[in-house]
Amino acid sequence: MMYRILIIEDEKPLARFLQLELGHEGYLVTLAHDGPGGLSLALEHEFDMILIDWMLPGMEGIEVCKKLRESKQIPILMLTARGMISERVNGLDAGADDYVVKPFAIEELIARIRAIQRRQADRSSDTYKLQDLVLDPVAHRVEREGQQIDLSVREYDLLKYFLENKGVVQTRESLLRHVWGFSFAGETNVVDVYIRYLRAKIDDSFETKLIHTVRGVGYVLRGSE
């Protein structure tokens, strides 16, 4: 089955250009040109990835992203002319998995799409376990004490990276690089925000806590001593 991408972009010449270029790469591309229309398509149909422009008529891309995250775990890549770090972080906080700053080279966009695809593709059928926590990459399922836990795409990626490196202390910079796929100098609390999200789902309701803060360094996933 072809990899299906929805592009929500109000600049019609750019949207058509992206549709042609990505179609040439083997992707099946659907277009929408405003926020409400794009949101409706995303909710009513199945796509493998969504590219959303930040500035859209009817509803800004960041609001589309937030609404999608209420019910969808599909990867989202933001297209934005907003190059400031704080604005990029706002997009990530809203639920975007990555971003490309306009103007961009089509080669960069395709590379980022493929990077997201690689993160989606679990190379191993083995389950990841830590005490009573289980992550099954084939079923894309997480359980603790036999209870299914629903995670967003970013929460799932973060937990999977922790499980792949359990017992190893991770700095915020390392998590940004390996889970979010980027790094920068400056202040951002995006890692801390998602750690809180993850703790609320896999730790708060259970006696044994698995995510631990290492003050002045970062975080580590480990079981009881």
What's the total number of domains in the chain? 2
- Pair of tokens at residue 185: 């100098």
Q: Residues 113, 137: one domain?
A: no
Give the span between the Cα atoms of 173 and 182, in whole angstroms: 9
Give the span between the Cα atoms of 109 and 113, in whole angstroms: 6
pLDDT grade, residue 125 (50/70/90)? low
Q: Residues 21, 108: one domain?
A: yes
**Interaxial angle between packed helices 12-24 and 106-120, expressed in degrees from 0 to 180 and rounded to the nearest 10:** 60
Q: Residues 17, 76: one domain?
A: yes
Residue 23, domain CATH: 3.40.50.2300
Query: Which has the closest alpha carbon to 51: 11, 2, 85, 90?
Result: 11
- Pair of tokens at residue 16: 């058509």
Q: Residues 91, 111: one domain?
A: yes
Relative to beta strand 76-80, strand 98-101 is parallel
pLDDT grade, residue 46 (50/70/90)? confident
What's the confidence (pLDDT) of residue 225? 54
Q: Give tens-digit pLDDT for 171-219.
A: 988 888 888 876 554 567 889 999 999 999 999 999 999 999 999 899 9
Q: Give tens-digit pLDDT for 95-107.
A: 888 888 888 899 9
For the chain, give the mean pLDDT. Answer: 87
What's the confidence (pLDDT) of residue 187? 60
Q: Respond yes or no on whether the N-terminal peptide bond of residue 13 is cis (omega within 30° of 0).
A: no
> Is pTM beyond 0.75 here?
no
Q: Residues 59, 90: one domain?
A: yes
Q: Residues 118, 55: one domain?
A: yes
Residue 178, domain CATH: 1.10.10.10
pLDDT exceeds cutoff 90 at 153 = no
Give the span between the Cα atoms of 154 and 219, in whole angstroms: 16
Q: Residues 112, 12: one domain?
A: yes
What's the confidence (pLDDT) of residue 139? 77
Can you give the length of the chain in residues?
225
Q: Residues 149, 72: one domain?
A: no
Q: Residues 136, 46: one domain?
A: no
Examine the fold and report which residue of 74, 105, 122 is the final residue of a domain before the chain moves on: 122
156: left (phi over 0), alpha (psi -120 to 50) or beta: alpha
Q: Residues 81, 145: one domain?
A: no
Examine the fold and report which residue of 79, 98, 122 is the final residue of a domain before the chain moves on: 122
User: Quick one: three-class SS letters along the chain?
Assistant: CCCEEEEECCCHHHHHHHHHHHHHCCCEEEEECCHHHHHHHHHHCCCCEEEEECCCCCCCHHHHHHHHHCCCCCCEEEEECCCCHHHHHHHHHCCCCEEEECCCCHHHHHHHHHHHHHHHCCCCCCCEEECCEEEECCCCEEEECCEEECCCHHHHHHHHHHHHCCCCCEEHHHHHHHHHCCCCCCCCCHHHHHHHHHHHHHCCCCCCCCEEEECCCEEEECCCC
Q: Residues 32, 93: one domain?
A: yes
- Pair of tokens at residue 86: 């704080």
pLDDT winner (highest mean) among 5-14, 76-85, 118-127, 149-158? 5-14
Examine the fold and report which residue of 99, 122, 145 is the final residue of a domain before the chain moves on: 122
Give the residue numbers spanning the domain of 146: 128-221
Q: What mean pLDDT do residues 35-45 have?
A: 94
Q: Residues 154, 170: one domain?
A: yes
How much of the chain, in percent, has pLDDT values that exceed 70? 91
